[in-house]
Amino acid sequence: MKASIERVELPLETPFTISRGTKRTVENLIVVIKHNGSTGYGAAAPARYYGETADTVAALLPELLDAVESIGDPHARNQVHERMATVAGDNPAAKAAVDTALWDLAGKLLGEPVYRLLGLSASASCPPTSYTVGLDDPETMAERAKAAVDAGYPVLKLKLGSERDRDIVRSVREIAPEATIRVDANEAWTPSAAVRNCKALADYGVEFVEQPVAAGNAEGLRRVYEQSPLPIAADESCVVAGDIPAVADSCDIVNLKLMKTGGLTPAVEAIYTARAHGLDVMCGCMVETNASIAAAAQLLPLLSYADLDGSLLLDSDPYEGVSVSDGRFDLGAVDCGTGVAPR
Ligand SMILES: [Mg+2]
């Protein structure tokens, strides 16, 4: 087994703003693992919010990949995760790069798509991905929402957390009367404001409200959940499977991400944990290349909601992934592995 790392800087199509700040480019790290004539690709999209940067991932990956090479078996992913846990502690994006590359490699060696190795069927009904519109003034967000609807995306996710949140949703609803609209406050609201906003947004047929209050405010989240007429999704409040019992009575949906859980293997564990607690599951992403989005797409048959538009927000992506049309990933077109290939 032979592993290598590449750092890639990815400009976004338009600057992307959420309540915490604006991004113009992101840095992802690609992991390539070769074994017996096959090549697996995975990626890390580190988030400073969760304590990682391109530098921390780049510093850690050689040690993680040494562990992979010494284990020497691309199918022994549990053993790899055990070893990574001793080497790395947190650092979920770094672990996700290794895990996703190993899953892609395993699928290629076995000649099967990864979703089939997970016991899933491409003919199951899979949710379409939302297309995320970054926070801006209501007119600009309505314009971007219209462009997304015209491009065929049936589900919009609006980033909120401004003085004009209700104007934003009203403006987008006017230009997209048929679209499914979900919103994400990224922790920006107080619990009282969140309850008021949820009541007001219900008039515009909003599907659900993601992370209304600060991740640390468990009591606030619970209050919003109890008083909101709209379903509540936990994102920053729910990072790994172990967080699920604590949020199970404070939300309807958890938003799981490979870059929070540390890859597909722990994401699957988190999905089944959430289901066992009666929660619906969304899989989301960072702004990230298809090298990791293709891996997340393998989970679609297990999901109630998908927000896997990371690559769609890039100006260009050096990797091809699972093809998307009208917001739907064509898993049936994946020949083997995750469906990732360098362009
Ligand atoms: Mg979110």
Per-residue pLDDT tens digits for 16-27? 999 999 999 999
Give me the pLDDT at residue 67, please.
Answer: 96
CA of 55 to the centre of ligand 1 (A): 24
Which residues neighbour ligand 1 (ion) by CB within 5 Å? 184, 210, 235
> Judging by beta carbons within 10 Å of its beta carbon (0-12, 13-18, 19+), is residue 2 exposed, middle or buried?
exposed
CA of 234 to the centre of ligand 1 (A): 8
**In this structure, are residues 35 and 1 in contact, taking their beta carbons and an 8 Å threshold?**
yes
Give me the pLDDT at residue 89, please.
Answer: 85
Report phi then psi at 136, rounded to 5: -160, -165
CA of 259 to the centre of ligand 1 (A): 12
Residues of the chain with pLDDT > 70: what percent?
100
Judged against a pLDDT cut of 90, whether residue 124 lies above it is answered with: no
Report residue 123's pLDDT band, with 50, 70 and 90 as the boundaries: confident
Same fold, 2-111 and 117-342: no
What are 209's two structure tokens?
A: 């409200």
CA of 99 to the centre of ligand 1 (A): 23
Q: Which helix (H) or strand (E) holds 247?
A: helix 244-247
Give me the pLDDT at residue 327, please.
Answer: 97
Lowest-confidence pick of 99-108, 122-131, 250-259, 298-307: 122-131
Topology of domain 2-111 in CATH is Enolase-like; domain 1 (3.30.390)
CA of 221 to the centre of ligand 1 (A): 14
Report residue 157's pLDDT band, with 50, 70 and 90 as the boundaries: very high
Q: What is the pTM of this model?
A: 0.97
| Per-residue pLDDT reduced to its tens digit, 178-199 | 999 999 999 999 999 999 999 9
- Full DSSP string of 173-207: HHH-TTSEEEEE-TT-S-HHHHHHHHHHHHTTTEE
| Per-residue pLDDT reduced to its tens digit, 223-259 | 999 999 999 999 999 999 999 999 999 999 999 999 9
Report the 10 Å Cβ neighbour count for 43: 29
CA of 4 to the centre of ligand 1 (A): 31
Domain map of the chain by residue range?
2-111, 117-342
CA of 235 to the centre of ligand 1 (A): 5
CA of 174 to the centre of ligand 1 (A): 24
CA of 111 to the centre of ligand 1 (A): 34
Topology of domain 117-342 in CATH is TIM Barrel (3.20.20)
CA of 21 to the centre of ligand 1 (A): 13
CA of 187 to the centre of ligand 1 (A): 9
CA of 253 to the centre of ligand 1 (A): 12
The Cα diameter of the chain in Å comes to: 58
CA of 75 to the centre of ligand 1 (A): 32
